[in-house]
Structure 1
Amino acid sequence: MNTQVIVAGAGPTGLTLAIDLARRGIGVRIVDQAEEFFTGSRGDGLQPRTLEVFEDLGVLDAVLAQGMPQKPLRVHLDGKFVTERRMRDWREPTSEVPHPNPWVLAQADTEAILRDRLAEFGVRVESGTALVEFSADDTGVSVTLEHAGVTETVRADYLVGADGGRSTVRKALGIAFEGTTDESIRMLLGDVRADVLDHSVGYWFADSAAPLDGIALMPLNGGRKFQFATGLHADAEPNLELLQDYVTRRSGRDDIVLSDLTWSTVWRPNIRLAQRFRAGRVFLAGDAAHVHPPTGGQGLNTGVQDAHNLGWKLEAALRNPGPASEALLDSYETERRGVAARILGLSSDLLDKTVKGDPDAMDREGTHQLDISYRDTANTAAELQVGDRAPDSPLHDAHGKTVRLFDLFRGPHATVLSFGPHTSTDAVESGAVETRVVRIARAESVSGHGEFADPTGDATRAYDAAAGARILVRPDGYVGFVER
């Protein structure tokens, strides 16, 4: 198959995009400069909206099986237990929101699951392959790759830079990366083993004189590993001995023995947003387009959703080039840059609260990303509108079996929800992507193929749909058209 899209960067963003393109039958290559796959936890918090994306991609079962819910944090001051806190209240699933709670899975494990899924479509990550240079014109992009000292020039229709905060693609385009870097704050993050600690909870050890100047240890899925986070003084050497000293002093215990430091990094507040997400046939996504503080667990999740937004638009442009497709590709920047800016503000605010010692710093109730919308900001209507997330809902098929709307949405297609009475003109124009019609009747049962009953009225209420309404749900799970 000819290469139509080259994805530079094989983190969660690049892998999500590659899967979405591959399942659409688009010729995609995904390259990564690193010789070996990442092995640490880093972005280990998966938000509810990301879980919905993963369900659409067919990897949710593996993510849930390997991960775990967020654990409570036990706060210890001067070696004594003070209180137990949760960053979010536990929510029960509803018909509209089947995955309301964040999930914890080490980033390395998330990436491994995504790589396995990508391989099912016959595409594998090309490790140790650097993007050296590229040039774009009106008809495509010429990309020079280097692997093991051998260079190769590939012609593709589009290039996507998902190659991280130091993005080679962004720098080559000369796109400004606007924001700030605060050198006065340094945080040491990483993964370490602590066998004596209860792995079912997290820990915060600090002195009562400086309750926010402590060390956090949050359990990771599998084994006895914890992800740690602590402030780092400018003259401190980030190593296992330093961590051991922090834990021993701040916990007041000498039985907590740390071992097996497998990944660590020194983080500084580097909060930035690319001035543009698109330059002709080249796009930016994930950390290449926006870099977040770790507060709120937003970075990985925002990147995954960049990819989910872009994949179907690239397919439409490849299948049916023209002015309409160009406008659709332009909407990627319009939609995702606005979201990234808002989320950067949220996570930056949480960072400021943490630095200042605000008691609300641990509140993560607004970080689930289920409220993301692309609607016109001037539209403040209460009912579901174009640009809003399409909710889930249970229906019954002709055999009386319960079928979720998310089951019907899953895949690379768009979906038209047609609320009875139905006609032969239920279809809605959705560009070059495949569109399926789901006919919904407010009845106890239905008998026809492609028809579904909504006996409780859940779907009708969720979509604010009167009889005769038609609603187009885009392939990325957002409302694209409403006719009531």
Structure 2
Amino acid sequence: MRTHDNSPDADVDVAVIGAGPTGLTLAVDLVRRGVRVLLAERGTDLFAGSRGKGIQSRTLEVLDDLGLASRFLAAGGPYPPNLPWTAGTPGDEFRMIEEAEPTESEPYGGSLMLPQWRTARLLRERLTELGGEVAYGHELTGLEQDAEGVRLRFAGRAGSVRARYAVGTDGARGAVRRLLGIGMTGGTVDPKPMLVADVRLAEGALPRTHWHVFPGADGGFAALCPLAGTDDFQFVTAFPEGTAVETGPEAVRAAIAARTHLAPSRVTAVAWASAFTARAALADRFQDGRVFLAGDAAHVHSPAGGQGLNTSIQDAYNLGWKLGAVLAGAPEALLATYEEERRAVAAGMLDLSTRVHRGETRRGKETRQLGLHYRESSLSEHTRGADAPLRAGDRAPDGPFGDAPGERLFDVFRGPHWTYLAVGLGRTPDEVALPFPLTLPAHVRTHAIGPYAPYGRGLFLIRPDGYVAWTGSGEGLNPEGAVAWLERHLGAAAHAAPDGA
């Protein structure tokens, strides 16, 4: 177990407030690094509704690194084609979401459907395996910070908890952002109020082979989507502006009957329901001293296009390795790159989800989030030519590795370590070699592969979150540049071996 340079009165290294998918992802990533975490949740259990149900390709790559991709794929399923209905008569099916086949460099082709409650439970399962837990019944009421840490107080609990750092993953209406006094800038995407509910239908009421859509003359469309891996459907409908939306079981049944050809009796159960108005808003800042915002606490999306949950999970993935590095001795300045990198991404994803909601763009390649990059980040150092296929700040592609069938670069990257990769630098086209005798820290693993077009010929220092930090050509440039990068940005942590795998 790594020894952290804790302040004398620190109870934990990091307090994470809110056990949704963002908080759970962050806790998983921190615990596997040997970080002492308090994951505080004000409720008595995890969130019970579907809400976000799309897992995008890049998020599946994150889950792959956390040891969870196979479980998610087994629990979920692909999005079905859409089937429009008019007066009880089906029309011609179509696809709202563009399909994408897996490729060598992008192994998770399309979107996976999985209700949010199951996403949370799979993450909790992984957290438990790693020795972590959720502290239920912890409602945050007070937060003060100083130069050494953060003190947190919880309703109905004597005393306080002292943490080196704290992260608010408690949603748009959560306590952390409010206690910090950080504003959120944005507005309404669509003034029509909406209802979302998880319902059970009588056998044969609708086939589970399609995502059923019911256009409404007053703009009050409805949709019933079979939730993969469950017996439920997600019901979504819009109401005219100004409507007071009720969420009780009978109100949900009445809404389904009014907007589809199904009688109320065909709805056999209503497991969960919520009313909302689609908004897009961005926190004015993601960091205040030793406290950070992630997920819905930092950005609120329209559900269209499935960007909110995915952007949130990737917030946690970006912040996790940086907190771990600073706790191990890296300069505190590294933490400022969290807002530098993620706030720009969140702003772009807010724009995308708004355009999808308004029908201005399709749910296509952009929504899969594989093209997101940090090229402009202060952490990205590109020393190859401008025409190189892979630049510092880009996502590191997957690909074949070694002689064993099915062995992949993602197998090499998986874990909290860094990777130093040489591509196509052998003396012959077929030779696989890491030709430079480098002195690298223990937590940087060195590997070499033959020529591979998505990378191009060169050297690559790959961050724990799967993005390229530094690139070198290996010709006429100092291959020790990777060592210099680590020394500059990680300091003492450059020589600290990470826990976990």
TM over 0.5, shorter chain = yes
Partner SS state of residue 272, structure 1: strand
Q: 2:326 aligns with which of 317, 335, 338?
A: 317
Contact in 2 for aligned 1:14/1:30 (Cα 8 Å)? yes
Q: Which residue of 2 aligns with 1:409?
A: 413
The answer to whether the 8 A contact 1:396-1:402 is kept is: no
AA at the equivalent of 2:412 = L
Tell me the CA shift for residue 402 of structure 1: 4.1
Alignment of 1:42-57 (within 5 A): 42-57=51-66
Look up the match of 1:375.
Answer: 375
Structure 2 residue aligned with 1:39:
48
| Per-residue Cα deviation, 1:88-117 (whole angstroms, up to 9, x for no partner) | 332221110000111011111111111110
Q: Does 1:335 align with 2:341?
A: yes
Q: What residue in structure 2 maps to residue 418 of structure 1?
A: 422
Preserved contact between residue 143 and residue 153 of structure 2 (Cα < 8 Å): yes
From 159, 169, 174, the equivalent of 1:162 is 169
Residues 210-225 of structure 1: pairs in structure 2 closer than 5 A: 212-225=219-232
With over 3 angstroms needed to count, the CA separation of the structure-2 counterparts of 1:237 and 1:28, relative to structure 1, is closer
Q: Is the 8 A contact 2:152 2:162 kept in 1?
A: yes
The 3 A distance-change label for structure 1 pair 259 and 138 is same
How far 1:267 moved relative to its partner?
A: 1.0
Structure 1 unaligned runs (5+)?
354-359, 443-456
Deviation readout 1:149-197 (Å, 9 max, x if unpaired): 2223122111011110012111111111111146832000110112321
> Given the superposition, is the C-alpha separation of residues 92 and 197 from structure 1 closer, same or farther in structure 2, using an over 3 Å criterion?
same
Distance 1:110 1:363 in 2: 21
Deviation at 1:425, TM superposition (A): 3.4
3-state SS of paired residue (2:366): coil
Determine what percentage of the aligned residue pairs are the same residue: 42
1:122 to 127, 131, 136: 131
Q: C-alpha distance in 1, partners of 2:358/2:192? A: 11
Q: Say whether residues 1:352 and 2:358 are aligned partners.
A: yes
| Residue 135 of structure 1: how far off its partner (Å) | 1.4
| TM-superposed deviation, 1:434 | 2.0
Q: 1:482 aligns with which of 468, 471, 482?
A: 471
Q: Which has the larger strand fraction? A: 1
Superposed counterparts of 1:62-461, under 5 Å? 62-146=71-155, 149-181=156-188, 184-195=191-202, 196-207=205-216, 209=217, 212-233=219-240, 234-254=243-263, 257-321=266-330, 325-353=331-359, 363-376=363-376, 381=387, 383-397=389-403, 400-419=404-423, 420-421=425-426, 422-426=434-438, 434-440=443-449, 442=450, 457=451, 460-461=452-453
The match for 1:450 is: none
Shift of 1:144: 1.8
Separation in 2, partners of 1:225, 1:478: 37
Residue 462 (structure 1) shift: 1.4
| 1:324-356 alpha-carbon deviations (Å, 9 max, x no partner) | x22321111010000000000011112223xxx
Whether the 8 Å CA contact 1:30–1:126 is kept in 2: the answer is yes
Aligned length: 446
* Matched residue SS, 1:366: helix
Query: How many angstroms does 1:236 deviate by?
Result: 4.6
| Alpha-carbon distance, 1:271 to partner | 1.5
Maintained 8 Å contact 1:394/1:404: yes
Instruction: Find the aligned partners of 1:247 and 1:131 in 2 and give their Cα distance.
Output: 38
Contact 1:418 1:426 (8 Å CA) reproduced:
no
CA distance, structure 2, for counterparts of residue 179 and residue 255 of structure 1:
38
Report the TM-score, using the length of structure 1 for normalisation.
Answer: 0.87
Displacement of 1:312 in angstroms is 0.6
Report the CA distance between 1:401 and its aligned residue.
4.4
TM-score, with length taken from structure 2: 0.84
Q: What is the aligned counterpart of 2:34 among 18, 22, 25?
A: 25
Contact 1:416 1:427 in 2 (8 A): no
Q: Secondary structure at the match of 2:416?
A: coil
Secondary structure in 2 matching 1:213: coil
Partner AA of 1:462 in structure 2: P
Summarize deviations over 1:172-230 as a string: whole Å, max 9, x none: 111111111468320001101123211121101235x45x5321001112343100110
Classify the secondary structure of the residue corresponding to 2:215.
strand
Is the 8 Å Cα contact of residues 88 and 365 (structure 1) preserved in structure 2? Answer: no
Determine which of 450, 454, 462 is the counterpart of 1:462.
454
Distance 1:80 1:351, change over 3 A: same
Deviations 1:21-47 (A, max 9, x none): 000011111001112221111111101
Spell out structure 1 runs of 4+ moving beyond 6 A. 377-380
- C-alpha distance in 2, partners of 1:332/1:178? 19
